[in-house]
Structure 1
Amino acid sequence: MDKRRIRQLGRITTFAKTTTLRYLILALFFVTFFTACNPNDKKENKKQIVKKEPIIKEYGFTFNDYKVVQDTIRSGDTFSALLEKFPLKDSLKIHEVTEKVKDSFNVKRIKAGKPYILFLDKKKPNTLQALVYIEDRINYTVVDFRDSLVVSNKQKPTIVKRRVVAAEINGSLSETLSNAGVSPALAPKLANIYAYTIDFFKIQKGDKFAVTINERYIDDTIYVGVESIEASYFEHKGKKIFAFPYKLNEKQKKEDYYDENGKGLKSMFLKAPLDYFRISSRFSGRRFHPVQMRFKAHNGTDYAAPHGTPIKTTASGVVERTGYTAGNGNFVKVRHSSTYSTQYLHMSKILVRNGQSVSQGQTIGKVGSTGLATGPHVCYRFWKNGVQVDPLRLKLPNTEPMGKSDKQKYLKYIEPLKRELDSITAIKFKE
C-alpha cells in the first residue's frame, strides 16, 4: 500500500473517532436533560424537602394557632397604645378594658424594654385574642380576650436545686465562680456578706472559698440564678471565715450573717450615712462657722452631697426624735442601744416618724440645706454614753452579740451546714 493510501485511511479513522465521541456527548446531554426535567421527579424531591412546622407552646398558648406578634415596650408606650394596634373582639372599648384590668394588672407600671406578645386571630382580620406582658424570666401577665376578659398574673414553673461549690481563687472572684459553673452574679452577694471582714479588691490567687447555694431553674433546664445562700466559707491570707444567715426573731425582715461562734460579721455601724459623698468638714473642738462667722466646736462630720441624695441610718434602732430647729434644720435622731445614738441634720425631707423602728441602711431622709447651712449636706452626729464623739476615730463594734439562748439555737442550726462545708473543703483542698 502506497503512502498516499495510508494517509487517507488515517484521516478516515480520525474522523470516525471524533464523530463517535460527539454523538456520545450529545446522547449523554439529552439523557441528563430529560431526567432532570422529569415532573414526577420534581414532585418526589418536593415531598422530601417539606418539613412539618414545629409546635410551639408557651405562656398557655399554642403559637401555631394564632398570628403572633412579638415586640418590646418602647419609651412612651402605654397599655392603651398596645391595644390600639389591632381591633378588639366584640367591639370592646379600650377604656373599658383598662378599667376592668386595673385591679389585677397595674397598667401604669409597664416598662420600656420589657417584651410582650400579641396573639391575633388567623381567620378574622387580625382581631386581638390575648396579650402577654413579660415582667421577667419567670413572671408574666396574660390579658385574655377569647371568651370573656380575664387577667392572670402567672409564673413559669420553676424548681430549686441545692449544691455546694468549692474553688480556689484564680483571677477575680467572678471569673473563678464562672469557671466553677456558677453565675458570676453570686460575686457581689459574697462581697456584701464579707464586706466588713475581707477587702475583695485584695483577694489573691490561692485564697479559697466554699458556698452552699440554692439555684432556680425554669422547666428543670433553663438556669435563672442563685436564689439564696445557706452557708459560706472564705479563706483569705490564711484566715478562715465562716458565714451563716440567721434571723434572731420572726420580726426581723432580713437575716444577718454570723460566724461559726455566733459573732456578727458586719459592723454595727456603716462608715457613712451616704453612698456617695465628700467630707466637707470634720469633727473639731474649734472650727470657724461659715454662717455665724465665729469659731466654735463642731461636734459632727459634714458630708456634702447633691440636694435630695438619700440619707441612711448607719445602724438599726428606734427613731427617738424628729423635728426642726433654727440651727439643725430638719433632723432625725436614732437610738441604737443603751450606749449609742446618731443624729442627721439639715435634711430637705424627713421620711420617718417618732418611735419607728429602722434597719441599718434604711433611707430616713433626703439631703438638704435647712437650718444653718451654706449648701446641701448632712451633718452626722454620734453619741457614745451620752457624749458626742468622732465616729471616724472610734473603733466601732460588730453587730450586737447574741444572747445565751439565741446562741444555743444558732449553733444547733448551723451544725449540719458547717459539717457539710468542712467535708467538701477537706476533699477539695487537701494538700
Structure 2
Amino acid sequence: MLKFLFNFSGRFILLAIILYAITGCSTKEQKDKQTITNPIDTVAVAPPNLLFGLPVDSFVIENNNVKRNEFLASILLKYDIPYNQIDKLAKQSKNTFDVRKIKVGNPYFVFLDHDSLHTPRYFVYEIDKVNYVVYNLQDSITVTTGQKEIRKVKKTASGIITSSLWNAMTENGTSPVLALQLSDIYAWTVDFFGIEKGDYFKVLYTEDYVDSTSVGISSIEAALFHHRGDDYYSFHFQEDSATYNYFDEKGKSLRKAFLKAPLKFSRISSRFSHSRYHPVLKIRRPHHGIDYAAPKGTHVFSIGDGRIIAKGFQARGGGNYLKIKHNSVYTTVYMHLNGFAKGLNQGDKVKQGQLIGYVGSTGLSTGPHLDYRVFKNGKPIDPLKVKAPPVEPVKKEDMKRFKDFYKPLKTQVDELILPHSTK
C-alpha cells in the first residue's frame, strides 16, 4: 500500500513539474512578445505644427507686412525669384487672386529651406484676417487659396442706455459692431435717433475668432430691445433651407420692404461706381447712385415710409432734390427733379409709393433722368443691391416649429441680468 502511494505521489509530482515547465515557457514567450510589440503599439506620433497648411518645422519662416509701393514682384525679387517666374505666378493667379489687389499693411510669409541657401519655397499673402493665398514657388507652380480655422463663440450682452446705443456697448465691453447689427435688425421698429435714457437691450449672439482675434459677429440669435416702455423681441428663424429672417414672438417680421425702384423707368443709363466719367465735367469721380433714364415729367415715388429731411436746389450738382430719412439706418436721395409734388415741405412725412416729384434735367445733367441714391448708416450703397426682405409673417404650417424654436431663446434673453440693475 505504501509503495503504491509513493509511486502515485511521485508520478503526480513529476506531472506537476512538467506542466509548470510548459506553462512557464509559454508565459515567458508571451512576455517576450509583449516586450517586443508593446513599445511599438503605444508610441503616439504628435501631429505636425502647421501654418497655412504647411509644416512649420520644415522651413525657416520670414514674416512681414506689405509696405507702401510694394507689390508681388518687388517682394519676390528680394528673394532672388526670377522675374519670368514671378510673371508666370501672376498669370497663374489671375483666376484665383488678382495680385494687383495686394494691400499695404497686410501680412505675408515666405517659407525658406533650412539649407545654407535658404531657397524660397512658398509665399503666403493674407487677403484678410480669415482668407489667404499660397504661391508654390517650386518647379510645379501652383496658386491656391485657403481659410484659417474660425472658432465660433456664443456670447451674451446687455446694457442700459444713458446716451447712445454705441456708448452703451463700449461701456459694457461689447463690440460696437453689435450696435450696427442691432440697429439694422430694429431699423423699422425702433427710432435709434429717438432712444431715451433708460432704454435697454439684451442679446444672444455668436462672435467669430481666428486664433485669439475677433473677426466679426456672424449672427444675432435673439434679442430684446426695451424702448419707451415697450419690449421688442427678435428671433433669427430659419424659414427654409436657405432663408433666415427676424421675427417677433408672435411670428411677425421685423422688417418692411422698399419698392424696387422709385419710378417706372425705361432703362438704367448709369450705374453705381467709385469712378465714373462725368459727361458734363469731363472728369472721373464717384457716382454713388443709379441713373434712371425716363421722359421729363415721369412720376417719382418715395420707396418707403419716411420724413423729408432736405428739399432744395443745387445749381452745380443735383438740381432739384429731395432727401428722405426712412429710419435710423436708411436714407434716400432723389436728384435732377423737374419739380416737386404739390404741398411737400421739409419735415413732412411721406408714405411708401407717395408721389414726391417729377423726372427732369436740372443741375449738372445732359438729359432727363433720375439720379437715385441710397445711404445705409450714412454711407452710400448700391441701390440695386439693397435687399428688400419679405414682410410676410411665419407661415401657419411653420408656427409650431417657430414656437418650439423661440421659447427657449426668449427664456435665455429674459434671464440676462442688466448691469447695475435688477430688471
TM-score bracket, shorter-length normalisation: 0.5 to 0.7
Q: What TM-score does the superposition give when structure 1 sets the normalisation length?
A: 0.54
Number of the residue aligned with 1:309: 288
State how 1:13-412 maps to structure 2 within 5 Å.
58-59=51-52, 60=54, 62=56, 65-66=59-60, 68-72=62-66, 74-75=68-69, 77-88=70-81, 93-121=85-113, 123=115, 127-146=119-138, 148-219=140-211, 221-250=212-241, 252=243, 255-269=244-258, 308-311=287-290, 326-327=295-296, 372-375=360-363, 376=365, 378=370, 399-412=391-404
Q: Is the 8 A contact 1:67 1:126 kept in 2?
A: no
Q: In 1, distance between residues paired with 2:199 and 2:289? A: 36
Call closer, same or farther: CA 1:267–1:425 in 2, change over 3 Å: farther
* Alpha-carbon distance in 2 for matches of 1:134, 1:225: 17
Provide, for residues 279-331 of structure 1, a one-character-per-residue CA deviation record: whole Å limited to 9, x for no partner: xxxxxxxxxxxxxxxxxxxxxxxxxxx9833249xxxxxxxxxx9654478x9
Aligned residues: 284
Distance, in Å, in 2 between the alignment partners of 1:332 and 1:115 is 49
Q: Give the equivalent residue in structure 2 for 1:294.
A: none
Higher radius of gyration, 1 or 2 = 1
Distance 2:108 2:301 in 1: 47
**Corresponding letter in the other structure for 2:236:** P
How well do the aligned residues superpose, as a CA RMSD in angstroms?
Answer: 4.4
CA distance in 1, matches of 2:96, 2:251: 44
**Cα distance, 1:66 vs structure 2:** 2.5
CA displacement at 1:186 relative to structure 2: 0.8
State the secondary structure of the residue aligned to 2:194.
coil
In structure 2, C-alpha distance between the alignment counterparts of 1:192 and 1:78, rounded to whole Å: 38
Structure 2 CA distance for partners of 1:160 and 1:179, relative to 1, 3 Å:
same
Amino acid at match of 2:79: F
Cα deviation 1:5-32 (Å, max 9, x = unaligned): xxxxxxxxxxxxxxxxxxxxxxxxxxxx
**Amino acid across the alignment from 1:167:** G
Output one character per residue of 1:146-167: Cα deviation in whole Å (capped at 9) or x when no partner: 5743433222222112133223
Counterpart-to-counterpart distance in 1, 2:297 and 2:72: 47
Q: Note closer, same or farther for the CA distance 1:416–1:69 as it changes in structure 2 (3 Å cut).
A: closer
Aligned to 1:245, what secondary structure does the other structure show?
strand
Corresponding letter in the other structure for 2:246: Y
Aligned partners of 1:67 and 1:401: how far apart in 2?
55
| Pair 157,308 (structure 1): closer, same or farther in 2 beyond 3 Å | closer
Q: Which runs of 5+ in 2 are unaligned?
A: 1-48, 263-284, 305-328, 339-358, 373-389
Q: Percent identity?
A: 31
Q: Secondary structure at the match of 1:93?
A: helix
Cα 1:121–1:270 change in 2 (3 A) is same
Quote the offset at 1:209 in angstroms.
1.1
* CA deviation profile, 1:228-277 (whole Å, cap 9, x unmatched): 1101001122111101223544464xx3322111222233337996xxxx
Q: Distance in 1 between matches of 2:55 and 2:337?
A: 57
